Chains A and B, each alone.
Chain A
Amino acid sequence: MSRILIIEPDVVLARLYKSALVASRHEVGHSTTAQEALHAVEKFRPDTIILEIDMPNHNGLEFLYEFSSYSDWVGIDIIIHTSLRPSLFQRMKVSWQHLGVIEYLYKPDTTLAALQQTVA
């Protein structure tokens, strides 16, 4: 069992992901914005973050850069779970590993079971 923070702007989708992960016996928190997520990381202290990159106002990439400037958060795994198409994702040309990203999941191709398995 681990603590997982879902950063997902769509509340309906977030509820589905949360239910699936709770069913896998994880403790799950949810933030809808990058700003809220920073507070949540501080309070909730997750082991893993599941992050949607495509968010309004401050996007997931900004969150990642901000997050990586906190040295006491090194070691929290980040899984990108996004609607951003792989071709667009590659166009961003970001060094994801340096930002703590361990996995990229394309939402339309990822079932709830696959998400549970990735986090396990």
Chain B
Amino acid sequence: MNQYVTTGIVIKRVNYGEADRIITFLTPRRGKVRGIAKGVRREKSKLAGGIELFSESDLTLIKGRGEIDTIISTRLKVHYDSIVGDLVRTGAGYDFLGIVDAVTEDNYEENYYSLISMAFKFLNVKTLDAELTRCWFYTRLLDITGYTPELKLDVNDEPLREDENYLFDFSAGRFQLSQSEGFSTDVIKLMRLLQKHTPAQIDRVGGTKEALPAAAQILSRLAEYYLQIKK
């Protein structure tokens, strides 16, 4: 019997037939795994049909002939219940799942598992601004996919200067000096912090709240632009 055991994070659930669900998991070493959970929808007491979103579980599956394996058992390891307790966090959580599902369609790397796992851990912390975690997620995503924006030099290879305003050139992946309106260097500083530190570390530094919306705007648009994630 081709039985195997793995840890997995649920990234998608689709109903199948009268009572079954096909669940897509992201796993550390096996990439994306799709398994059929038989009869779970007959169990009406759980919204999730027995397998929760925003959770990590230990899974036992049997290899199927095609692309879909059969789930024998699941054991919930961690459920990030603070994500569903707050609408902004829930929205961010679904956003992350949709993005990871889309970008891992054709290629998978181990980094995606730790990205989504850490993103959920941070999103689950009520004291951390969900928008900060979102910015961190996009920063790490761009890094994994090789689209890290340049944050030291502008489009003309000149060092970015304090007290100047900049616009962001998405095709170049760099900032360019603006004569009038633009993003302040506080936004650039925050983006630099996001490249090196976790949301928890940045939160301890403080003073980044004002720059968050602008950083989020740049980073999400960058991801859409390079990874063709449709919103």
Contact = CB atoms under 8 A, between A and B. Distances in A.
Interface of A: 34-35, 38-39, 53-54, 58-59, 61-62, 65-66, 69-71, 84, 88, 91-95
Interface string B71-102: 00000000000001001101110110000000
A70 B131 CA distance: 30
A50 B88 CA distance: 20
Contacts of A69: 13-15, 21
Nearest to A35: B47
A62 B84 contact: yes
B84 A88 contact: no
If over half of B's interface residues share one DSSP class (helix, strand or loop), that class is named, otherwise mixed; here it is: helix
Interface of B: 13-15, 21, 44, 47-48, 53, 84, 87-88, 90-92, 94-95, 131, 134, 220, 231
B94 A61 contact: yes
A59 B81 CA distance: 12
Contact of B87 (A35, A39, A59): A59
Contacts of B91: 61, 91-94
Contacts of B48: 66
Nearest to B220: A93
Nearest to B84: A62
A39 B44 CA distance: 8
B84 to A, nearest CB: 6
Given A34-B47, A35-B47, A69-B14, A58 B84 contact: yes
Contacts of A91: 88, 91, 131
A62 B81 CA distance: 12
Nearest to B14: A69
B13 A95 contact: no
Cβ-closest 3 pairs across A and B: A92-B91, A94-B91, A61-B90
A94 B92 CA distance: 8
Contacts of B87: 53-54, 59, 61, 84, 88, 92
Contacts of B44: 39
26 contacts: A35-B47, A38-B47, A39-B44, A58-B47, A58-B84, A61-B91, A61-B94, A62-B47, A62-B84, A62-B90, A65-B53, A69-B13, A69-B14, A69-B21, A70-B15, A71-B14, A71-B15, A84-B87, A91-B131, A92-B87, A93-B95, A93-B134, A93-B220, A94-B94, A94-B95, A95-B231
Nearest to B91: A92
A88 B91 CA distance: 11
A58 B47 CA distance: 8
A30 to B, nearest CB: 18
A44 B90 CA distance: 27
A61 to B, nearest CB: 5
Nearest to B16: A71
Contacts of B21: 69
